Amino acid sequence: MYINGAWCTPKSNATFDVFNPANGKKIANVADGTEIDARLAIDAAGSAFPSWSKSTAYQRATFLTNAHRIMLSRKDVLAEIMTIEQGKPLKAARNEVQYAADFLLWYAEEAKRINGEILPSTRPDQRFMVLHQAVGVVAAVTPWNYPISMITRKIAPALAAGCCIVLKPAEATPLCAIEMFKIFEEANIPNGVVNLVTARDPKPIGEEFTTNPTVAKITFTGSTAVGKMLACQAGAHMKRISLELGGHAPFIVCEDADPVHAAKGASLVKFLNTGQACISPNRFLVHTSAYDAFIDTLSTRVAKMKAGSGFEDGVSIGPLINQAAIDKVNRQVTDAVEKGAKLITGGMQLTEGRLADGHFYAPTVLADVTPDMLIYSEETFGPVAPIIKYDDNDDALAMANDTTYGLAAYVYTQNLGRAMHMFEGLRFGIIGINDINPTSAAAPFGGMKDSGLGREGGKPGIMEYLETKTAGLSI
């Protein structure tokens, strides 16, 4: 663990094992921290906060810029560790490292854009002054599916704002976090400003985060169930909280869209990270006129996808994170087929040859999916594309919004008016219009409803770490 500028073992001296999901082999053992270690890290952050929060924006920007430079110099090493630990293909891992580094550079610049205001008053002898200041110590919890970019997406704006932070990474991917903190150490970020606590059991760490009075804000990316629990616990202590939770993204192919072009986009975004992404499309709503052509193109491309280790050439489908993920996907597919869905390709766990010891599921396309099937309403988090036919655009919009989630949605259309109608009508925080990658360090990222609270990225991303203070001046 990394606490107060030093690498240390937990007070219990306990460790836990980390495994490669592609072959089941143990790759490392890691410090198994407890709430005691989390408390020490929070204390370190609290001690560092007065000095760090008073540093200039230019000083904080320099630290982030240095971390960005070091991170890019280690791009290949970071990507290889990610592929071993998380399973995604090496090319995708490199892309994630670049995306992660973008947040460091973006918020190095945003640190200098934390501007106040002078406001007029109804009284001639009064003025109002508005100031934004760091909220305090931040506790962060990051997921396993994007184990590096989710770290920088939280740490970069927190540090830019003048906050200190304690990070608890996912228990499945602690090695990526450790490598990132080596970079922060080399960038000479002052002691206590960034702290890392690794642990097999997240519950006691989370409870320390939500109850410790030094923690002013919690930021969490993960499941909706855990996010709601953290929100309840944080609310009891009036802590600020940001939540980026689950999704159930619709992918709408309108009647005027090019179904072949849409299917090509669908094949890329649906099976990115083997479907283990919160913005992964989960329901493909395809107009009747485009239905057959869309399925033909999508199924042809999916059938050619190769599963395997992320280090193998041509592999685009990596492992799922564990057997429980396999079982969830298989349950949804089995339920859909039993209720009348047509299995076009895939539909089974891959267990032969070099895949035998990993957690692989064949990329799958299901046609004729209906609302009574589990996959219609449950987030899959796996490589399955369920296709639903529709006839009316208003019906498609209603079906798309018929979910408690509201993170991402996708629309393919060549009609500008229809694009705007969908953009305004979809109850989701991120909309890709003929675009399968509607994310960037410069763009706000976050959802509505059960998909979370707050935004990461862009200008709103740094505001999540700032308090607003108003002064009335009598002159």
| DSSP letter assigned to residue 310 | T
Contact 244, 452 (CB under 8 A): yes
35 included as an active-site residue: no
Which CA distances in Å does 162 have to 32, 57, 240, 466?
29, 8, 16, 8
Q: Which helix (H) or strand (E) holds 470?
A: strand 466-474
| DSSP letter assigned to residue 355 | G
Please give the distance of CA 253 from its chain centroid, rounded to a whole number: 25
Contact 349, 326 (CB under 8 A): yes
Residue where the block lists tokens 């991170």: 71
The residues, ordered by sequence, that sit 6+ positions from 437 with a Cβ below 8 Å of its Cβ are: 269
Contact 383, 329 (CB under 8 A): yes
232 included as an active-site residue: no
Spatial separation of the C-alpha atoms in residues 14 and 25, rounded to whole Å? 20
Rg of the chain's alpha carbons, rounded to an integer? 23
The residues, ordered by sequence, that sit 6+ positions from 73 with a Cβ below 8 Å of its Cβ are: none
Largest CA distance in the chain: 81
| DSSP letter assigned to residue 389 | E
Query: Of 96, 110, 244, 456, which residue is the catalytic one?
Result: 244
Query: Of 110, 179, 278, 464, which residue is the catalytic one?
Result: 278
Query: Catalytic residue positions?
Result: 244, 278
